Every structure is written in structure tokens, then in C-alpha cells.
């Protein structure tokens, strides 16, 4: 699939996905939706990709949904857009659900304004860092619409219910410093330093680590957010320890430690995930 609205670049085991509609402040469209989903599909099957950075071209990260259709932007019936399912599916939610399922760590390098879907698409990313010049806004109440992209699930888990409600109720746009203080972003950087900082984080996830271990750990951590008892984690932990304990990567990890040398992990997420993966039943949209 060739891309019109994003750039896909792999270097040193790090995939950089760049939202690439700078003339429209990288506003989100159905084409961008489909291309992002395809890019995450492609990344999951490419064992050369160990970590993913998502950023924006030009001065914005993503200014939200493209409002070129005016008052009918969110009125799909008026625009004649047919749903693929009996009930219309939110496009932003399809993207964030695909990120949630990803086997690779995702780092958001938020280089400028991130508003609406521009900020909610970052919530399933594992780490978010931002330019000191970035701005954020969960502006739904100011557009008469509701939070989307599964943000009512992600946001309170990231920043707490009180902070989430304050940002969503007010719909105000707030600066990067407030985003950091509120727990939305990990760190702030000068605009020219942002991508190098993101790459440094990504390298820490790629070097001397097992790709299988990282993939399993990502899903274990995210999916346990919805568990109702630590026993659910114990069940999954136990299966992971049992199956991975017999694996080539664990043998290499232990031997390299004992021999005081760098590890050479060989297992591939595209084909070597343990037999119990996935351990969950993916919910159906209906």
C-alpha cells in the first residue's frame, strides 16, 4: 500500500511514522485512518521494526478531524458515507484499537498542536514526549460532540479520572507544561531536540532486549488495566514463565548474562509468539 497522508521510514530498527498533511496541520481523514491501520499491520509483521515513533510534519502534530465538510463533518448520513457495520464505527477508535493490539512499543513525539483526534490517538502510545511549544486539547464539548478514539477508556487510566474530566469538560486548549504536570506527557524538549530524544528512548527498547519479551510485556501491561483481580495477571504471568522458560531467547538471555557478553536474541514476533498468545478473546463490535 502506498501512502498519501503518512510517511513510513525504518532506520536502525526504529520505524518513524510521520503524519504528512502539513498544509492542513496534519488533520485526520478517513484516508489517514486506513493508512495508519495498514502501517501498524505492516510494522507488526516486519521483524526489523523493534519500536515505532509517531510524529507530525511541519508545525503541528495533528489539528484533529479535517473540518473541510463544515457542519456536516461528523454527520455521516448527510455526507452519504455508508458504514461497514450496522452501527457506524468511529474511525479514530479503529486506529487506537489497532495501536492497542500492536506488538511493538509506540512513542509519541508530539511536535506541535495535538487537538481532538490529534491528542486522543496518542493515548494508546506507551510513551508521549512533546515539544515545549506543543498544545493539547480535548475539545469535544466545544464542538458539541463526545470524546472518541476510545479516549474515555484510555485517558482516565493515564492521568486519573479528575484530571481527565477537567480537560474533557472544559474542552480548553492547554500548554505542554500542563500536559506534563497532568501526566499526559513524560518530558518536554526543544523542537529541534524532540525526535532525537524519541529515538534515544526507542533505542533503549531495541538494544539488548528480546523482541518477544517486549511484545508480550506490552500486551500484559495494557490488558491488565481492565482486570478485576490480580489473579488474572497471575494466570498470564504463569503461562508466560512456563512457555518462555523453554525458549531460545531465555536460554540466550541467561547464557549471555553468565558469560558477560551482549545477548543475541533470535526469536521473531511475526512467527515465534508462544502458543498461548493471544490469551484473550478480542471483543466484537456490534
pLDDT in tens, 56-115: 999 999 999 877 655 555 555 555 556 565 677 999 999 999 999 999 999 999 999 999
- What does 75-131 look like in DSSP terms, one character per residue? -TTTTTPPPSSSSPPPHHHHHHHHHHT-SS-EEEEE-S-EETHHHHTTTTSSEEEEE
pLDDT tens readout for residues 224-262:
999 999 999 999 999 999 999 999 999 999 999 999 999
d(CA 189, CA 195): 9
Which pTM value belongs to this model? 0.93
pLDDT tens readout for residues 123-152:
999 999 999 999 999 999 999 999 999 999
pLDDT at 187 over 60: yes
Question: pLDDT at position 94, please?
Answer: 97
Q: Pick from 32, 52, 50, 57: which is nearest to 40 by CA?
A: 52
Of the candidate CATH numbers 3.90.226.10, 2.40.50.140, 3.40.630.10, 1.10.1740.110, the domain formed by 6-206 belongs to 3.90.226.10
d(CA 246, CA 267): 12
Domains 6-206 and 209-286 share a fold: no
Question: pLDDT at position 265, please?
Answer: 98
d(CA 258, CA 262): 10
Question: pLDDT at position 88, please?
Answer: 79
d(CA 221, CA 274): 17
- In CATH terms, the fold of domain 209-286 is Lyase 2-enoyl-coa Hydratase; Chain  A, domain 2 (1.10.12)
Amino acid at each position: 500500500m502506498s501512502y498519501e497522508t503518512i510517511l513510513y521510514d525504518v532506520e536502525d530498527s526504529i520505524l518513524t511514522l510521520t503524519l504528512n498533511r502539513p498544509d492542513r496541520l496534519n488533520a485526520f481523514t478517513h484516508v489517514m485512518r486506513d493508512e495508519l491501520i495498514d502501517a501498524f499491520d505492516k510494522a507488526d509483521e516486519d521483524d526489523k521494526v523493534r519500536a515505532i515513533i509517531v510524529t507530525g510534519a511541519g508545525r503541528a502534530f495533528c489539528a484533529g478531524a479535517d473540518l473541510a465538510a463544515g457542519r456536516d463533518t461528523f454527520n455521516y448520513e448527510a455526507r452519504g458515507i455508508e458504514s461497514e457495520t450496522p452501527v457506524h464505527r468511529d474511525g479514530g477508535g479503529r486506529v487506537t484499537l489497532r495501536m492497542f493490539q500492536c506488538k511493538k512499543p509506540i512513542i509519541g513525539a508530539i511536535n506541535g498542536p495535538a487537538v481532538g483526534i490529534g491528542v486522543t490517538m496518542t493515548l494508546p502510545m506507551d510513551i508521549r514526549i512533546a515539544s515545549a511549544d506543543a498544545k493539547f486539547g480535548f475539545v469535544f464539548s466545544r464542538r458539541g460532540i463526545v470524546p472518541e478514539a476510545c479516549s474515555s477508556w484510555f485517558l482516565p487510566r493515564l492521568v486519573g479520572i479528575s484530571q481527565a474530566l477537567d480537560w474533557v469538560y472544559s474542552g480548553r486548549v492547554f500548554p505542554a507544561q500542563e500536559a506534563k504536570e497532568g501526566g499526559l506527557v513524560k518530558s518536554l524538549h526543544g523542537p529541534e531536540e524532540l525526535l532525537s530524544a524519541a529515538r534515544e528512548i526507542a533505542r533503549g527498547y531495541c538494544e539488548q532486549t528480546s523482541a518477544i519479551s517486549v511484545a508480550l510485556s506490552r500486551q500484559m501491561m495494557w490488558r491488565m488495566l481492565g482486570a478485576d483481580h490480580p489473579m488474572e495477571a497471575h494466570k498470564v504471568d504463569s503461562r508466560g514463565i512456563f512457555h518462555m522458560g523453554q525458549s531460545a531467547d531465555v536460554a540466550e538471555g541467561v547464557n549471555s548474562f553468565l558469560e558477560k557478553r551482549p545477548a543475541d536474541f533470535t526469536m521473531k514476533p511475526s512467527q515465534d509468539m508462544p502458543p498461548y498468545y493471544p490469551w484473550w478473546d478480542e471483543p466484537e463490535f456490534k
